[in-house]
Structure 1
Amino acid sequence: MKLAAPAALAATVLAFAVAPVLWHPADRAAMPVETVTVAPGSFVFRLPGEYLKADWPVDAPKRNVTFRRGFDIMKFQVSAADYAGCVADGACEAPEGGRKASADMPVTGVSYRDAVAYAAWLSQKTGDIWRLPSDEEWAFAAAERMNDDALGVEDDGANPAARWLARYRAESGTGARDAEPRPLGHFGTNGKGLADVAGNVWEWTTSCYTRATIAADGSVAQSIENCGVRVVGGRHRGYMSNFIRDGKSGGCAAGIAPDNLGIRLVRETPSLLASFKALVARTMS
């Protein structure tokens, strides 16, 4: 087999990695999953992570993000019963907390690694390609329920603690916290039709935690990614270590720990999957 370019080699390696998903449909059982199609569009996105300017914490910069192609995302978070199917097949570890599997409750007590394992299992079961969203995709799909990370306080080098206190107040909110997971649909739908966005279950994304330095002109002078910590989307943006299954137990890299950790997946569109299959076919010829 002759490989024409590094890109072809990468495609071939990926093809072998997902071969069971692409080429053995007879082995899979039908497993309907309700999704919402998020239409193409643009929005202003505040970058995730921690940003410092002259050694003081500042708000992360914004950038314009355009999705030229829409994407399908689960309307609801993965239920406890659906995740239990993965556990029964030996492809996932049982969630932390010991809650009874239920079709009307979101699975919680799952780590980033658990979420990736579930996506691989669901892909095998359905024949579609399922994956976690990026933080950008999650924020775009969350629409009006995405809370801005800006703290709304002036930079004060004489009192940097003011920014951390403002962050604590913004994330903790007012009144009693509703930490007990609620049935699917309890928090209603957003403007794009997604249910329970920014409720009391945070959702894993593929985006890595970033620590960056801002130059005097406002540009990012230096940036370091820590992919042992991932961004989670919810009532506020969170940053959790890959192996943490219960935010309240620790492992939060910044801010207030999420109440619950759960899963919502993106499904690759048929056109993209067809293009991928065609690329694999050309590479293998």
Structure 2
Amino acid sequence: MAGCSGSAPSVAPNAEPAKNPTLVERLEARAEARAEAKAEAEAAAAAKAKAATPDPAPQVESIALPVWNAPEVSLQPSELAEARKAADKALAEDRLYRDAEDAIPLYLAILALQPQDRAAQRGLDKARQRLRAQATALMAQPENQRQALAQAAEIAGVAVALAPEGKAEQALQQRIAVARRLLALNRAGEQALRQHQFGEDGGGAQAAFREVLATDPLNSRARQGLAAVESGLIRRAEYAAAMESDFDAAARWLDKATTIRGEAVTLKDARARIENIRTAQLDALREGGLRDLVSSKGLKDAQLKLAQAERIALPGDRTVVLLRERIELVTHYGSFRPGQVFSDALADGSRGPQMVVVPYGSFQMGAAEGEIGSSDAERPQHQVRFERGFAMSITEVTVADFRRFVEAAKARPRATRRGHSIVYDERSGNFIRRSGVDWQSDYNGAKAAPNSPVMHVSVRDAEAYATWLSEQTGRYYRLPSESEFEYALRAGSQGRYPWGRSMTPPENSGNFTGSLDVSPSGRHWNNAFIGYGDGFWGTAPVAMFRANAWGLHDVSGNVSEWVADCWHASYRRAPADGAAWYNPGCRQRVIRGGNWANAPEQTRAAWRQSQDSDVTSARIGFRLVRGI
């Protein structure tokens, strides 16, 4: 056997057989010693395995086959027959190569003494076949692959030592080398999995498993490994969604998971689970935010929940839209809604004036440069913004409303104390002072109907009514600021007139001076809206005409109205937040809104006029606002 990796056993021709144990005795002794050594090794391995940590990831590189050296067999020519019997018995028991008493070492020893021994050669050929069969079986073994392949490599090393040029042995050697490399790659991938190195951006477990499948597309272990990588990425996505509320990161992890097996069923299920997590979190944030809005935690906590919901929600999510709308409502309207109509209960069980909630927003207040009929007192035009809505009485305060105040508070309004007020005189067509006129009187001094707007009241009378109503309802009523009044009068429009740019009011839009209006004695207005008529020469009962876009009646007509502001000759340095521009002790106040006797230029949306705070007139009334 010179020249091969397995060396032939040495032979001692001068030995004295009679002084040595027989071959059978030597073989039996060696078998006993081998059994004892194997038992000790197995016990030591078992003890070590209990405390051993997982194997480190193997270095994936070419693994050389082990070199087999035949055990030394001392054989005398006289022992050939006995050696043949021992070799055949070992072959039958599949004891092939490990020890000197196994089949292959014995056959080699026999052939070393008798190279032409056909029986030994046939036995050796059978042993080689057994080696290939054993190695092939070990390669197919699904359990303990590492040990099985190591054993297969050892067996292949024996086979190659016996037949270095044998094609079957070379093929076996190649298959084992490939199998061991694939196993090492699988183990490296599994180790990376345990360390959560999925290789989503290259390398890691995914690279190892893909390299295996490039060689063996049906390798079940690598396929399972890739499935485990996919599962790991899905777990990361679900963790990001459930624990971190980071749904963008969850989507990225799922996108990486799709590179494993495409949009598999597991990915579709994971996306559904993550969307369920998102929905549950959004529902919880919405419900929590809504609870905050009606609890002591209030608006700030609800806004924090909204911010979190906006971070995790998909665009247009209805849950976020609902919570944002509710927060916006509370921010700008408290417990009310824009356009809501209500009235507060008074202490005696009756109801106060009907109010409507005016929406928050902004507008350009005043007249633009060059507006026909405007004055410098209406400029500069400036932006006013209301961060919160407010409630305004739908109509002007009526005679019936004011009567309850006078009688309950035993009030004596200014015209009553003074004994006169300014009325329209039908005979002369002028406004004159007439005795015996007060808040109970109509525009011409006659008794006013209960549903007529109260006239002949000073701004102090209006403020006294607001104070009384506040005491009765427990709510804060006041005169509107000038900017609140113009904002409500325009109701979202920005034209010259409250209804827009048309020179003629729309039909049924209000009580204005119209060319078609006729006084009881047949008078016509000298300066009026051409072609317009409303059926009233003086004041009309409240709410006789169509409300504006925000549900308010008679803001631009019927009677002009007191507002809370002191008179200033222009809007320079005027408040931009909707607050009244008031100087304590001021005598000159502002009236706003056209009236039944105003010229068309005085019906413009920006029109304003100064009046002494003691003035009472058939052309001036008021309405109130209430905070919400």
Question: Once the two structures are aligned, what percentage of the paired residues are identical?
Answer: 32
Counterpart CA distance in 2 for 1:213 and 1:198 is: 21
SS in 1 for 2:569: strand
Shift of 1:212: 5.1
1:88 to 391, 397, 407: 407
Matched, 1:121 2:468: yes
Aligned to 1:111: 458
Aligned to 2:395: 76
Shift of 1:121: 1.3
Q: Is the 8 A contact 2:380 2:571 kept in 1?
A: no
What's the TM-score, normalizing by structure 1? 0.59
The higher-RCO structure (CA 8 Å, 6+ apart) is: 1
Q: How does 1:250-265 map to 2 (within 5 A)?
A: 260-265=619-624
Counterpart CA distance in 2 for 1:213 and 1:72 is: 25
Shift of 1:231: 1.0
What's the TM-score, normalizing by structure 2? 0.28
Aligned to 1:38: 358
Q: 122-131 or 98-107, which moves further after superposition?
A: 98-107
Structure 1 gap ranges (5+): 1-24, 48-55, 150-171, 215-223, 247-258, 270-285
Shift of 1:110: 0.8
Q: Is the 8 A contact 2:480 2:624 kept in 1?
A: yes
Task: Give the AA of the match of 1:239.
Answer: S
Counterpart CA distance in 2 for 1:239 and 1:147 is: 23
Q: Is the 8 A contact 2:378 2:570 kept in 1?
A: no
Counterpart CA distance in 1 for 2:400 and 2:537 is: 20
Aligned to 2:447: 100
Matched, 1:184 2:531: no
Cα pair distance change 1:59/1:230, threshold 3 Å: closer
Task: Give the AA of the match of 1:244.
Answer: V
Q: How does 1:234-245 map to 2 (within 5 A)?
A: 234-235=593-594, 236=602, 237-245=608-616
Counterpart CA distance in 2 for 1:213 and 1:127 is: 34
Task: Give the AA of the match of 1:238.
Answer: Q
Task: Give the AA of the match of 1:180.
Answer: G
Q: Is the 8 A contact 1:105 1:184 kept in 2?
A: yes
Task: Give the AA of the match of 1:240.
Answer: Q
Measured against aligned partners, the alpha-carbon deviations of 1:198-252 in whole angstroms (never above 9, x if no partner) come to 11201110111113598xxxxxxxxx97831111111132221100011xxxxxx
Q: Is the 8 A contact 1:105 1:183 kept in 2?
A: yes
Which protein is richer in helix relative to its size? 2
Q: Is the 8 A contact 1:92 1:117 kept in 2?
A: no
Aligned to 2:523: none
Cα pair distance change 1:241/1:127, threshold 3 Å: same
Aligned to 2:551: 193
Q: Is the 8 A contact 2:561 2:622 kept in 1?
A: yes
Cα pair distance change 1:91/1:125, threshold 3 Å: farther
Aligned to 1:136: 483
Aligned to 2:385: 66
Cα pair distance change 1:57/1:80, threshold 3 Å: closer
Matched, 1:210 2:568: yes
Counterpart CA distance in 1 for 2:347 and 2:377 is: 52
Shift of 1:197: 1.3
Q: Is the 8 A contact 2:479 2:625 kept in 1?
A: yes
Which protein is richer in strand relative to its size? 1
SS in 2 for 1:42: strand
SS in 1 for 2:401: helix
Q: Is the 8 A contact 1:189 1:195 kept in 2?
A: yes
Counterpart CA distance in 2 for 1:197 and 1:107 is: 14
Shift of 1:31: 2.1
Measured against aligned partners, the alpha-carbon deviations of 1:147-205 in whole angstroms (never above 9, x if no partner) come to 859xxxxxxxxxxxxxxxxxxxxxx5446996511011123211111011111201110
Task: Give the AA of the match of 2:592.
Answer: G
SS in 1 for 2:475: coil
Cα pair distance change 1:264/1:146, threshold 3 Å: farther
Q: Is the 8 A contact 2:377 2:569 kept in 1?
A: no
Task: Give the AA of the match of 1:268.
Answer: G
Cα pair distance change 1:87/1:146, threshold 3 Å: farther
Cα pair distance change 1:39/1:120, threshold 3 Å: same
Counterpart CA distance in 1 for 2:394 and 2:552 is: 5
Instruction: From the CA coordinates, give the structure whose radius of gyration is larger.
Output: 2
Task: Give the AA of the match of 1:233.
Answer: R
State how many pairs are aligned.
195
Q: How does 1:143-182 map to 2 (within 5 A)?
A: 143=490, 148=496, 173-174=528-529, 180-182=538-540
Shift of 1:36: 1.0
SS in 2 for 1:227: coil
Counterpart CA distance in 2 for 1:179 and 1:242 is: 27
Q: Is the 8 A contact 1:86 1:92 kept in 2?
A: no
Q: Is the 8 A contact 1:46 1:148 kept in 2?
A: no
Shift of 1:68: 0.7
Cα pair distance change 1:26/1:195, threshold 3 Å: closer
Q: Is the 8 A contact 2:542 2:553 kept in 1?
A: yes
